[in-house]
Structures are given as C-alpha cells and as structure tokens.
C-alpha cells in the first residue's frame, strides 16, 4: 500500500467531518480495488461499541493473501503516526501498524459459499475515530455486503444512543428552532391579516417559505430522534429531504424576486429576471439531489467525493449568480440615475433595497463559508455548534428580511408612484 491512497482517504475523512452520524447502515461494495475505503467517522465520549458484519464476500486476485484484507479503526490522534509509517515505507500495509485498532481480516471469514463474519468491538477511550477497510494486495478486487452498527452504551438502563458525540444534541436543537419558526409564522399570519388590504403576492410566497421551513425542522427533529433511539430513520429522512428541497428552492426564489422588486415595484418579471430564475432553480435542484446522495450514502461509494464537488459547485454558482445579479441591478440603477430624474427619485426611495443586498451577501457568506470552516475546525464533541450557528444565522436572516418587506402602507422599498413605473424601462 502506498501513501497516496491513504492520503486520499484522509481527504475524504475531512469531507465526512460534516456528517458524523453513526446510525445502523447496510451497503454493498462491488468489485472495488481501492487500497483504503473509509466506511464511517464517529466520535466516542463514553463507552461505545462498533459492530461490523460482512457477508457474500468474493475476492478476485492473482495472489490472494487474506491477512492483508481487513477492517480497522483509527483514532484522530493516531493518524499522524500511521502517515509517518507510510512515508517511511511505501509498501507498508496499514493493517500491520501498531497505532490502529485491529478489527478482523478475511482470515476470519467462514468458508465459501457463505463467506461471512461478524464482530463487535468495545471502545472505551474518548476520541474521534474512523472505520476503514484496507486492501493491501495489489490488483485485488473485493465485493461484499457490509452492515455496521455504532452506538453509545447508556448506563445504567442499558439503552443505546446511535447519535454519537457532536450529534446527540441535534433532535432537541431542531425542536427548539421549529418552535421559534412556528411562533414566527403565527405572528406573521396575524400581521398579514391585520394588513390584508395591502398584502401582495410576494407576502404569500414568504408565508409559504415560513411554513415549509417549520415543517423541515420538525421533520429533522423527528428524523434525528429516531436515528438516536433506534439507529434508523423509519422513513422520516425521505420526508425531511422533500421539505428541505422545497424550503431551499423557495428561499432562493424569494431572494431573487424581492431583489428584483417583483410584486413591489413591478407586477411581472422582465426577461432577465426570468432567466435568472431559470439558472437559480435548476442549480438548487442539482445541489439538493447531490445533498441527498451525500446524506444517504457515504465515502464507501466510489463517486461520493464527486457528489460533494457537484453540491459545492452548484450551490456556490447559485449564490454567485444571485450576488452578481444584485450588484448588476444596483449599477444599472445608479447609471440610469445620472440621466433620468425619476430614476434619481426612485434611487432615493430604495435604501432598504441596498441594505437587503448587503444582508443577502452576509447570509450567504456565513452559511457557505464560515459554517463550513466551523465544522472542519470544531472539536468532534462540538459539531452541533455549527448546526446551531447556521440555524441562528438563518433565523436572523428571515427576521430581518420579513421585517424589511412586511406589508405596510408606507414602505420605503415599494412606496413608488404609479407614474414612476416608466423607470423600469430604463433599467431594461
């Protein structure tokens, strides 16, 4: 085994740091020749157990050495030592290292045709761990069915907690934010009802956004609760992904529509706004598909890193498109104001319009950059803090956006005289 495949697995491990959820998983590895396969990443703060079961194992190799194919657990502290061993000897097999927790090798498998084995390993030292499969035999391809269970023993009642260190707080966290959004939704509905004469179509879309966001959080809370208690989602992961998809698409649509003054300054969108929506919505659909694949699979699939790259590129491209459109609109309005007196009047009436652009840019920067850095740098026991920071930032963004564009008879954003709609022609 050379060091490069192991370094690639370590890179995948860094990507997996944002997905440290140890639930019961069953998956299949088919005709795989990778020297190192990262299966799970998990944190242990008390007494934990790792159970790995394999079945239907088949190996295609010109020279078979069963002792060079097996499973092991590696702690975060031991990772530099293993990397040093590989640097000193490129042909070194990681299964021979003294810094790993040996699980089992293919020597322990039952004879064909069953070719299966199962082992449970107790872990008593608090640390951040990773479960690997190593294939130190060149030109060897492995196929097998793998079943993993990783959990904490909760004494004295003997129950199990499948949400390990850094994730155990997520069900309660999502429940708290669900109650916050539910209260926000009730207040918003009352406010809109009291000002129903001036409620515009964008306000109805904003109401739908709040409702779907609330449903997303309660589904996330139930989903994580079932994983915590039973190790499986019981179908709630599907419901969560559906509402999350709708919520994200609605959010970007609301940002684009507000940023272009739809329903406030103009009754319908121009061609450029429609083209922007045709770019943003498909990108978010692609990003959500990638997010689902990432969440429901793992680094044991060969294209898992590719899906991470697709998600990152689609999401960042979507954010950049929105920011570019906002900056471009402001530049056009500023240039038009130099020659059009009515445009000058409009520009003076749109301070909230400029504030909204700054708000959106700040929100996108925090949730796409700062939160990711927090997830990568935070200790494994505090991974939930990045989730809390993201939800706090999102709730703050919602509150400010809804306050700035609430239904009001006198609002400096959309209080524009009818005859001034001609300014839109100059922007076109």
Q: Could you give the CA distance from residue 240 to residue 223 in angstroms, rounded to a whole number?
A: 7
pLDDT band at 416 (very low <50, low <70, confident <90, very high): very low
Backbone Cα Rg of the chain: 27
Residue range 166-426 in CATH 1.20.1690: no
The DSSP code for 267 is S
Evaluate whether 152 touches 161 at the Cβ level (below 8 Å): yes
Q: Using the structure block, give the residue that is written with the tokens 């306000």.
A: 203
pLDDT band at 412 (very low <50, low <70, confident <90, very high): low
Least confidently predicted of 61-70, 244-253, 271-280, 371-380 = 271-280
Cis, peptide link before residue 156, omega less than 30° from 0:
yes
* pLDDT of 415 above 70: no
- The b-or-e profile of 89-126 (16+ CB within 10 A means b, else e) is eeebbbbebebbbebbbbeebeeeeebebeeebebeeb
What is the reported pLDDT for 333? 62
Helices 201-230, 170-194: axis angle to 10 degrees equals 160
How much of the chain, in percent, has pLDDT values that exceed 70? 80
Complete DSSP assignment for 194-236 = HTGGG--HHHHHHHHHHHHHHHHHHHHHHHHHHHHHHSS-TTH
What CATH fold (topology level) applies to the domain 24-161? Jelly Rolls (2.60.120)
Segment holding 37, helix H or strand E: strand 36-44
Q: Could you give the CA distance from residue 260 to residue 270 in angstroms, rounded to a whole number?
A: 9
Using one digit for the tens of pLDDT, what is the confidence trace for 80-113?
A: 888 888 888 878 888 988 999 999 999 888 777 6
Q: Could you give the CA distance from residue 158 to residue 189 in angstroms, rounded to a whole number?
A: 46
Q: Could you give the CA distance from residue 286 to residue 284 in angstroms, rounded to a whole number?
A: 5
SS (H, E, C) 358-418: HHHHHHHHHHHHHHHHHHHHCCHHHHHHHHHHHHHHHHHHHHHHHHHCCCCCCCCCCCCCH
Per domain, the residue ranges of the chain are: 24-161, 166-426
Using one digit for the tens of pLDDT, what is the confidence trace for 366-386?
A: 998 999 889 888 888 888 999
Evaluate whether 36 touches 72 at the Cβ level (below 8 Å): no
* pLDDT of 145 above 70: yes
Q: Could you give the CA distance from residue 379 to residue 128 in angstroms, rounded to a whole number?
A: 9
How much of the chain, in percent, has pLDDT values that exceed 90? 33
Evaluate whether 116 touches 57 at the Cβ level (below 8 Å): yes
């Amino acid at each position: 085994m050379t060091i490069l495949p192991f370094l690639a697995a370590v890179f995948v491990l860094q990507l997996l740091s944002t997905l440290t959820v140890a639930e019961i998983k069953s998956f299949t590895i088919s005709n795989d020749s990778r020297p190192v396969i990262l299966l799970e990443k998990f944190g242990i703060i008390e007494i934990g157990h790792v159970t790995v079961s394999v079945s239907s194992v088949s190996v295609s190799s010109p020279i078979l050495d069963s002792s060079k194919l097996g499973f092991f657990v590696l702690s975060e502290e031991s990772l530099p030592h293993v990397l040093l061993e590989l640097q000193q000897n490129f042909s070194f097999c990681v299964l021979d290292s003294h810094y790993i927790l040996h699980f089992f090798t293919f020597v322990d498998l039952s004879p064909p045709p069953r070719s299966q084995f199962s082992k449970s390993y107790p872990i008593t030292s608090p640390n951040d761990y990773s479960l690997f499969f190593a294939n130190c035999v060149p030109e060897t391809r492995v196929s097998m069915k793998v079943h993993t269970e990783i959990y904490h023993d909760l004494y004295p009642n003997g129950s199990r907690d499948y949400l390990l260190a850094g994730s155990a707080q997520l069900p309660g966290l999502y429940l708290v934010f669900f109650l916050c959004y539910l209260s926000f939704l009730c207040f918003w509905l009352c406010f809109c009802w009291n000002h129903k004469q001036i409620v515009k179509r964008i306000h109805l879309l904003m109401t739908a956004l709040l409702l779907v966001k609330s449903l997303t959080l309660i589904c996330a809370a139930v989903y994580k609760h079932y994983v915590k208690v039973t190790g499986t989602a019981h179908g709630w992961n599907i419901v969560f992904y559906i509402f999350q998809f709708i919520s994200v698409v609605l959010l970007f649509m609301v940002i684009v529509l507000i940023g272009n003054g739809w329903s406030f300054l103009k009754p319908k969108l121009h061609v450029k706004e429609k083209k922007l929506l045709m770019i943003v919505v498909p990108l978010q659909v692609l990003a959500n598909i990638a997010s689902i694949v990432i969440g429901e699979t793992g680094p044991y699939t060969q294209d898992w890193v590719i899906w991470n790259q697709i998600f990152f590129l689609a999401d960042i491209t979507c954010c950049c498109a929105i920011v570019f459109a906002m900056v471009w609109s402001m530049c056009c309005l500023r240039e038009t104001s130099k020659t059009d007196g009515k445009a000058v009047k409009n520009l003076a009436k749109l301070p909230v319009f400029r504030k909204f652009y700054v708000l959106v840019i700040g929100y996108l920067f925090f949730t796409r950059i700062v939160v990711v850095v927090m997830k990568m740098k935070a200790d494994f026991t505090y991974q939930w803090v990045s989730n809390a920071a993201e939800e706090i930032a999102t709730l703050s963004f919602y509150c400010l956006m809804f306050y700035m564009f609430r239904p009001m008879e006198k609002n400096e954003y959309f209080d524009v005289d009818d005859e001034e709609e001609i300014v839109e022609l100059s922007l076109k």
